[in-house]
């Protein structure tokens, strides 16, 4: 422990587990530093953030050396990674960082808890109830689907894989075999898939902190709003710890010899009182704000256990309290209303549910993921960012509609071709300068021979990042080598030097317009050169080789249409 105030480094990016961990440790009196997050993240607006550090992130070359230098310089009492893209690379390099206290699941069980299929095997042996399941590791296993009654619950065995930290593998619920097979085929490119029988019930989580297989404190929540196709909940309620679920959680934790924080997820049927085990979440979870607001202060508990050896934590928490993520909840409402289609009965049930849920805010039993009275700035920033996005979305839709009108599209294409023919300095810009813009720049070198200088850059504030492996593989199929590419950060000098700036989507164009207003008149969507109705060339970051190939095909088609 440092001589004066204890110090911790928190790694993450979201407004739920990351922000809650910052607040929990800050209220505990810990000096909180953060890293591996965007500088414009609303979470870094918290008054409890002492410093924001910007070492290279994995998988960028040199990240290990920069991160080690940060640890040596600051001498943190504890480092807490809050998401898998932070946890996985730290686990791979845990021997390199062994002189520093970094919270990771014990090495002996790390691979086990990160593999959902293996956790299910241990859970079954420990007596937990599981749904019928089929393991799919290749197309030869597709016949196993015949053992499962639809709808199908498709669960990637790993949410993230080390070779592609930018892509999360999501759970999906699909109604029939044909769509399930197509989805499994896509998932298998990243990870094996467990197909489970659907269980009718509500999502319930038992959150805990444990040491050597003993649960020291636990807290239970119930999901109130769940996305129709699966995924994280936007609205949750605290409830009394169910004895059966608590016993099941203790059995699993004991079988693993688990030390740390975690959440055992269940499906519970209130009518039959039956339940099944769903999965073990071995890091801080999305519903953490509810637990912290109800008195189950797991980040502070973790700090005290690992740094001070404490094991006596409170077991009583406030029940029947709710917590909402307002932005995600608006998306939930939109998706649920859309899924209800034209069914008046379903729309009426949804309306009645929302009316009944008003009792929580009306009786002051509701809190927010981002808004806290003692720390309002993250929520204020989130609100202003959301309000500012509305006119941008309207402008983007109008621009998109205009380019779908054939006469306007032809006119815009002719105008852009004229600008290209007169240009001597062309600059391609995307967000990170690792996927679209470097490919376009290198391909354009073979097509725009009249242009003296062709460069690429991005406005994401990290330089010297390589292109993802999938991008390099897809680019090679077009004769483009991205192996030696390293990203650059867009500067005023680059913008001033360019006669023409070519971007790929509306966000790119908006960012350049807001940062460099005088560059608006020379900034164009490259996709305007395409005959397609949509001029946007989406960001393939985190996608498969096939996804990159599809985007690179659009870029080459656009540039091939420029006369020599």
Residue 8 in contact with residue 1, Cβ under 8 Å?
no
- Helix (H) or strand (E) holding 396, with range, is helix 377-403
Contact of 520 with 429, CB cutoff 8 Å: no
DSSP bridge partners of 225:
235
Q: Which of 300, 295, 299, 296 is nearest to 284 (CA)?
A: 299
Catalogue the active-site residues.
Answer: 430, 436, 539
Instruction: Say which residues have a Cβ less than 8 Å from residue 133's Cβ, sequence separation at least 6.
Output: 120, 148, 194, 195, 196, 197
Q: 279 pairs with which residues across the strands?
A: 265
Question: Backbone phi, then psi, for 463, in 5-degree steps?
Answer: -110, 170
Distances (CA, A) of 51 to 30, 73, 75, 146, 229: 12, 13, 14, 54, 39
The two three-digit tokens of residue 414, written as one number:
């002719």
Instruction: Tell me the CA end-to-end span of the chain in Å, nearest whole number.
Output: 67
Tokens 């062709």 locate to: 454
Residue whose structure tokens are 């730290």: 90
Residue 75, token pair as written in the block: 């001498």
Query: What phi-psi label fits residue 12: left (phi over 0), alpha (psi between -120 and 50 degrees) or beta?
Result: left
523-525 and 322-324 as β-strands: parallel, antiparallel, unpaired?
unpaired
Decide: 238 and 321 in contact? Cβ < 8 Å.
yes
Inter-residue contact 288 to 16 (CB < 8 Å): yes
Q: Specify which residues 133 forms β-bridges with.
A: 196
What is the rounded CA–CA span in Å between residue 385 and residue 429? Answer: 23
CB 544 within 8 A of CB 189: yes
- d(CA 267, CA 502) in angstroms, rounded, equals 49
């Amino acid at each position: 422990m440092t001589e004066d105030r204890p110090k911790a480094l928190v790694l993450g990016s979201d407004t739920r587990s990351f922000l809650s961990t910052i607040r929990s440790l800050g209220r505990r009196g810990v000096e909180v530093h953060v890293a591996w997050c965007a500088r414009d993240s609303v979470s870094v607006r918290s008054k409890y953030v002492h410093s924001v550090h910007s070492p290279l992130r994995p998988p960028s070359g040199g990240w290990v050396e920069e991160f080690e230098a940060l640890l040596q310089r600051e001498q943190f009492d504890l480092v807490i990674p809050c998401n898998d893209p932070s946890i996985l690379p730290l686990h791979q390099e845990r021997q390199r960082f062994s002189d520093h206290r970094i919270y990771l699941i014990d090495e002996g069980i790390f691979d086990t808890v990160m593999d959902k299929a293996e956790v299910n095997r241990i859970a079954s042996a420990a007596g937990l109830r599981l749904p019928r399941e089929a393991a799919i590791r290749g197309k030869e296993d597709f016949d196993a689907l015949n053992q499962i009654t639809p709808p199908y619950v498709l669960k990637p065995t790993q949410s993230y894989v080390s070779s592609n930290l930018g892509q999360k593998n999501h759970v999906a619920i699909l109604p029939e075999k044909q769509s399930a097979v197509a989805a499994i085929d896509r998932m298998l490119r990243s990870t094996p898939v467990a197909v489970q029988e659907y269980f009718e019930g509500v999502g319930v989580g038992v959150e805990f902190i444990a040491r050597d297989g003993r649960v020291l404190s636990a807290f239970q929540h119930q999901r109130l709003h769940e996305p129709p196709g699966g995924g994280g909940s936007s609205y949750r309620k605290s409830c009394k710890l169910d004895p059966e679920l608590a016993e099941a959680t203790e059995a699993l934790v004991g079988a693993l010899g688990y030390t740390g924080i975690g959440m055992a997820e269940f499906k519970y049927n209130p009518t039959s009182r039956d339940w099944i085990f769903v999965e073990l979440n071995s890091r801080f979870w999305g519903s953490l704000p509810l637990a912290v607001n109800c008195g189950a202060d797991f980040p502070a508990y973790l700090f005290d256990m690992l740094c001070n050896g404490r094991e006596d934590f409170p077991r009583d928490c406030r029940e029947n309290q709710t917590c909402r993520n307002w932005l995600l909840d608006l998306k939930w409402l939109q998706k649920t209303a859309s899924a209800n289609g034209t069914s008046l009965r379903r729309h009426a049930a949804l309306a009645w549910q929302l009316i009944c849920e008003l009792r929580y805010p009306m009786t002051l039993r509701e809190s927010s993921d981002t808004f806290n009275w003692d720390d309002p700035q993250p929520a204020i920033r989130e609100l202003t960012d959301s309000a500012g996005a509305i006119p941008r979305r309207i402008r983007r839709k109008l621009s998109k509609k205009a380019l779908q009108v054939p006469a306007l599209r032809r006119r815009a294409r002719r105008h852009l071709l004229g600008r290209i023919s007169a240009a001597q300095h062309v600059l391609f810009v995307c967000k990170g300068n690792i996927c679209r813009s470097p490919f376009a720049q290198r391909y354009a070198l073979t097509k725009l021979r009249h242009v003296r200088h062709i460069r690429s850059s991005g406005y994401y504030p990290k330089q010297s990042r390589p292109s993802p492996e999938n991008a390099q593989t897809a680019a090679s199929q077009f004769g483009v080598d991205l192996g030696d590419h390293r990203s650059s950060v867009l500067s005023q000098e680059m913008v001033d030097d360019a006669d023409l700036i070519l971007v790929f989507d509306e966000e790119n164009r908006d960012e350049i317009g807001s940062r460099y207003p005088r560059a608006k008149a020379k900034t164009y969507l490259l996709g305007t050169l395409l005959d397609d109705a949509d001029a946007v060339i989406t960001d393939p970051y985190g996608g498969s080789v096939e996804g990159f190939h599809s985007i690179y095909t659009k870029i080459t088609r656009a540039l091939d249409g420029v006369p020599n």
